[in-house]
Amino acid sequence: MQMLPMLKVLFTRSVGLGLQLLLTLVMGRYLGAAGVGQFTLYNTWMVTLGCVGDMGLPTVALRNVSVSEERRQYKQIFAYITQALARLLIYGALAAVVLITAADYFAHLATADATLLSLFQLAVGAAVVFILMRVLSETLKGLGYINLAFTIDTSLLPLLLLLVMGVSWLFDSSLSVFQLIASHITFTVLIVVLLATVFFVILRRALAASPTTLPTSSSPHQPDSLFSRRLVPVWIGGCLGMLSLNLPVLFLPLYADAEEIGIFGVSYRLMLAGTSVLTTLASYYGPVFARAYANQDCARLKQSLKHSQKVSLLVYLPFFLLFTLFSEPLLALFGDEFTAGASLLTIMVFGQLINTSTGLVGIMLNMIHREKEEFIIQLSNLVITVVLINVLGTLYGVAGIAAACAISIGLKNVMSYIAAQHYLSLSDYPLPVKEANHETA
């Protein structure tokens, strides 16, 4: 396993993560806990709706493009991704019209505060753009441009938002949460245009440089339907994973006001630094898992999974020590009112520690076409999480929700790890060879 490419990815993602945390810190100082709470709700609704609407295509794009790029099937990549983007844009726009029209009804399902209706409407519109950004970003990662994808989709947006707040402060002008959200949506649209431009330039150069015939070890495969039944487990599994991750924030409006949501949101955002590490490593290991599976190299799969465990834990340990030993002074940087979340942060990072120590088992199951098993795990964990949030939230309030979050995060990856070890130990080939050739882009 080559360390230099992975270290470059980690560095690039660390820059993006640092900018995102800096953005949260500046928002805390600029907008206060209530403003951070409103922005947290908007962002959570956007990400959740985006995951529901992406039909599993970001994950499938990473898997398919990784294999097709190795086989130099660039025309199929181009056709697959352009068709996916066009259909997602059409279906997403239609769904957004329906949700925005009926926003009053749907917002009442998400929050008891009627004043947050406009936040929900903005989140619906932003979700469509967010979906396109995710598909394009995962496509670039599959093509091998991992650092470039991370730089554009994770570093550029917070940098631009920080610039907006800096200009506002420089000219001593007020900036509301809704103005910041409008800037967020505008910049996301521009990032989608930039990602699409980069994708087309890369594909054009690859097509010009690629040989007219495929390597002898490769055979062409026609892509399956964009929205075949085989994608359903990947799609629903991704939705369940995202819901499990965002359930604490989605349920908070039923238990807390905007200020309490902001305090919880900052602690939760810090805890998710571990998840960001795993997301970064997934962009590196995902193609490795997919290619090892396509080549039926079970030894490579086992080695890569063990390696991901070691690297994940090693990278997360500094975060764990920081968040447990210095949680209160760290949160004070965001504003004195945020120190109330120190105990919440300490509770949640223990669940994240278990999550990182098991490695990228969920990603591996999806990459080796065990998405149905991962779907069952996600569904089971979602049910458990809902029960825990309602029981512990009723008994202990926000602290109970934090405890439910920690249990849910740790439990899910333990179940995925058991499943991954089971299928890797069955034989030298996790799945029949014939299934490895499906869904090639």
The 10s digit of each residue's pLDDT in 234-264 is 787 778 777 777 888 888 877 777 788 889 9
- Beta strand spans in 298-358 (E): none
Angle at Cα 292 formed by Cα 286 and Cα 297, nearest 5°? Answer: 150
Mean pLDDT of the residues in the chain: 83
Please write the tens of the pLDDT for every residue from 52-76: 888 888 888 887 888 788 788 888 8
Q: What six digits make up the tokens of 231? A: 């994608």
What is the tens place of the pLDDT at every residue in 36-58? Answer: 888 988 999 899 899 888 888 88
Average pLDDT score over residue span 376-385: 88
SS3 441: coil
| Whether the predicted pLDDT of 441 surpasses 50 | no
Task: Provide mean pLDDT across the span 263-287.
Answer: 80
pLDDT at 182: 95
**Which of 404, 103, 47, 398 is CA-nearest to residue 257?**
398
- Residues 208-237 have a mean pLDDT of 60
In the chain, the amino acid numbered 433 is V
Rounded (5°) CA angle 73-74-78: 130
- Provide the greatest CA pair distance for the chain: 66
Q: Report the number of secondary-structure helices (H) and strands (E) in the chain.
A: 17, 0
Specify the DSSP class assigned to residue 296: T
The CA distance from 177 to 330, in Å, is 24
pLDDT digits (tens, 9 = 90+) for 311-321: 888 888 888 99
User: How far apart, in whole angstroms, are the C-alpha atoms of residue 374 and residue 365?
Assistant: 6
Would you kindly state where each structural domain of the chain is located, as residue ranges?
A: 3-437
Angle at 113 between CA 112 and CA 119, to 5 degrees: 115
Cα–Cα distances (Å) from 109 to 116, 126, 179, 380, in that order, read 12, 19, 25, 23
Residue 335 has pLDDT above 70, yes or no: yes
Each residue's pLDDT tens digit, 92-130:
888 888 887 776 666 565 555 666 778 888 999 999 999
> How high is the pLDDT of residue 113?
61
Which residues, 6 or more positions from 282, have their beta carbon under 8 angstroms from its beta carbon? 360, 363
Q: How far apart are CA 40 and CA 75, in angstroms?
A: 40
Residue 341: band (very low, low, confident or very high) from pLDDT cuts 50, 70, 90: very high
Judged against a pLDDT cut of 90, whether residue 297 lies above it is answered with no
Would you state the pLDDT for residue 159?
95
CA dihedral sign of residues 381, 234, 418, 324 = negative
230-240 pLDDT, tens digit per residue, is: 677 778 777 87
The confidence band for 437, taking pLDDT boundaries of 50, 70 and 90, is very low
Q: Determine the pLDDT at residue 139.
A: 92
Q: Tokens 């080796």 appear where?
A: 368
Q: What is the mean pLDDT of residues 385-403?
A: 90
pLDDT of residue 104: 66
Answer yes or no: is pLDDT of 215 > 90. no
* Overall average pLDDT of the 139-144 stretch: 89
| 94: exposed, middle or buried (Cβ count in 10 Å: 0-12, 13-18, 19+) | exposed
Contact 287, 301 (CB under 8 A): no
Bigger pLDDT: 196 vs 372: 196
- Residue 241: name the closest of 404, 79, 382, 127 by CA: 382
The pLDDT tens digits for 183-210 are 999 999 999 999 999 999 999 998 888 6
The answer on pLDDT for 283 being more than 80 is no
Mean per-residue pLDDT, 131-141:
93
| CB proximity list for 176: less than 8 A, separation 6 or greater | none
- pLDDT beyond 60 at 427: no
Count of beta carbons in the 10 Å neighbourhood of residue 160:
18
Q: State the amino acid at position 306 in one-letter form.
A: K
Residue in the structure block whose two tokens are 């892509």: 223
